[in-house]
């Protein structure tokens, strides 16, 4: 059976560290060498005192699936890159942190290598991704009343389910952001990291509606070798149990705004999500 799956291009591809990246067929169906980035032109970008967006990246690479196989994941470059491009074009500055300050893990297999804008962004931020700030240090030292932040951004990629949903520092950050009326931005699997705020009753985002990658679609992806097994847990199911409603049923370009939480459903939503986030932040500052 493994030989047949390999012959058909649906067998996940082994990586050097003993994990698996998506099969050739899955890469053909689920990734692209270019994106639909619309150029990020804004008639009136922000030009006042520096306003910053804090990007929370995972530093973990491999997800252990239900069958014990490891999936090579991280932060999805399109779901991370297109929103960053829009936020930068709209006049905001970007800071990148990981839980401990270890390098951000990027799903290199999903990198759109023929997209000049995205490739330049990752070159420009190569040092920031290799040497990010520490979330724990940020929480200890930078959550002040005069901190120049307008939003917290949780990029997608299955890596958002690694280390972030149970991170106590992230829970403190999300509650601080919410208490100061900052925006929280999350796309695809990024909303899984909202679970970090689940140590209060009621849950910080109880009653919210979001767009996110559907659990039902994650269940289907092993059939084409996108992942080397089924998910170890379902983030949508956990959010639902805490009072969060996911508005989309497909991995489409859906985006949603509920109060100061802005969400997107999948890589297909990355451009629209980035523009929506940028325009919403700009409007909030006028």
Q: Convert the pLDDT of each residue in 59-92 to its tens digit.
A: 999 999 999 999 999 999 999 999 999 999 999 9
| pLDDT tens, position by position, 97-136 | 999 999 999 999 999 999 999 999 999 999 999 999 999 9
Question: Do 73 and 63 touch, CB atoms closer than 8 A?
Answer: yes
Give me the pLDDT at residue 17, please. 96
> Architecture of 50-284 per CATH?
3-Layer(aba) Sandwich (3.40)
Instruction: Give the residue, 42 or 3, on which the prediction is more confident.
Output: 42
Q: Is 188 a catalytic residue?
A: yes
pTM exceeds cut of 0.85: yes
**Catalytic residue (one of 150, 188, 261, 269):** 188
Distance CA 269, CA 155 (A): 12
Sorted by where each begins, the domain ranges of the chain are 50-284
- Tens digit of pLDDT for each residue in 232-248? 999 999 999 999 999 99
Of the candidates 186, 185, 172, which has an alpha carbon nearest to the alpha carbon of residue 143? 172
**Quick one: average pLDDT of 174-191?**
98
Residue 153: strand, helix, or coil: strand
């Amino acid at each position: 059976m493994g030989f047949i799956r390999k012959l058909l291009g649906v067998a996940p591809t082994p990586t050097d560290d003993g994990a698996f990246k998506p099969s050739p067929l899955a890469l053909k169906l689920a990734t692209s060498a270019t994106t639909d980035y619309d150029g990020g032109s804004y008639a009136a970008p922000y030009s006042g005192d520096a306003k910053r967006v804090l990007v929370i990246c995972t530093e973990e690479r491999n997800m252990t699936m239900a069958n014990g196989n490891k999936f090579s994941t991280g932060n999805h470059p399109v779901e991370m890159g297109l929103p960053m491009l829009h936020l930068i074009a709209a006049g905001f500055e970007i800071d990148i942190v990981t839980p401990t300050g270890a390098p951000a893990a990027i799903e290199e297999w999903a990198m759109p290598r023929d997209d000049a804008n995205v490739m330049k962004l990752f070159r420009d931020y190569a040092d920031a991704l290799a040497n990010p700030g520490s979330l724990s240090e940020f929480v200890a030292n930078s959550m002040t009343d005069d901190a120049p932040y307008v939003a917290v951004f949780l990029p997608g990629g299955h890596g958002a389910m690694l280390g972030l949903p149970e991170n106590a520092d992230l829970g403190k950050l999300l509650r601080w952001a919410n208490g100061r009326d900052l925006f929280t931005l999350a796309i695809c699997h990024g909303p899984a990291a909202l679970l970090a705020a689940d140590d209060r009753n009621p849950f910080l985002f109880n009653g919210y509606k979001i767009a996110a990658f559907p659990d039902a679609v994650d269940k289907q992806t092993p059939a084409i070798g996108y992942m080397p097994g089924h998910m170890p847990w379902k983030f949508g199911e956990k959010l639902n149990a805490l009072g969060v409603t996911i508005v989309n049923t497909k991995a489409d370009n859906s985006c949603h705004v509920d109060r100061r939480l802005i969400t997107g459903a999948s890589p297909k939503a990355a451009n629209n999500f980035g523009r929506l986030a940028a325009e919403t932040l700009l409007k909030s500052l006028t």
